[in-house]
Amino acid sequence: MHEVSVARELLSAVERHAGDAFARVRSVRVSVGSASGVAPRALEHAFRALSADGAMSAATLEIELVRARSRCFNCGAVFEFDGLIDACPGCGAFGGEILSGVELRLESIEVGDV
């Protein structure tokens, strides 16, 4: 489960960006692409487990799922899908140019009062 290493890197990024306010982080918002290979529920569990005993024990992780979009190599149709890969609804071919849905992005960090 690589979500543990992803959560560890996410917590490190939050610490770098929050600096002295790290202990006051209340929420972390990320975008996760549906074709990124990251399971949102597993990422949330890993985040909670890794932050449970530390300065961010009260912080929550908010995950926005970004649907994947692809342009079919065969017919040029642009379509959305939820998994790692899907057939083009226009011609049924597999494969295409991924336009979105592979991202994993730290969107925001909310800091509150102690």
In this structure, is the dihedral angle defined by the CA atoms of residues 60, 15, 43 and 87, taken in order, positive or negative? positive
Check residue 36 and give its pLDDT: 93
Residue 60: pLDDT over 90: yes
Indicate whether 59 belongs to any domain. Answer: yes
Check residue 109 and give its pLDDT: 95
Indicate whether 34 belongs to any domain. Answer: yes
Indicate whether 28 belongs to any domain. Answer: yes
The range of the structural domain enclosing residue 55 comes to: 3-67+101-111
Q: Encode pLDDT of 65-110 as tens digits.
A: 999 999 999 999 999 998 888 899 999 999 899 999 999 999 999 9
**What is the CATH classification number for the domain harbouring 30?**
3.30.2320.50
Residue type, 38: V
Indicate whether 47 belongs to any domain. Answer: yes
Burial zone of 1 (CB within 10 Å; 0-12 exposed, 13-18 middle, 19+ buried): exposed
Number of structural domains (the chain) is 1
Indicate whether 85 belongs to any domain. Answer: no
Indicate whether 75 belongs to any domain. Answer: no
Indicate whether 49 belongs to any domain. Answer: yes
Q: Encode pLDDT of 18-43 as tens digits.
A: 988 888 999 999 999 999 999 999 99
For residues 110 and 85, give the distance between their C-alpha atoms in angstroms, rounded to a whole number: 34
Indicate whether 42 belongs to any domain. Answer: yes
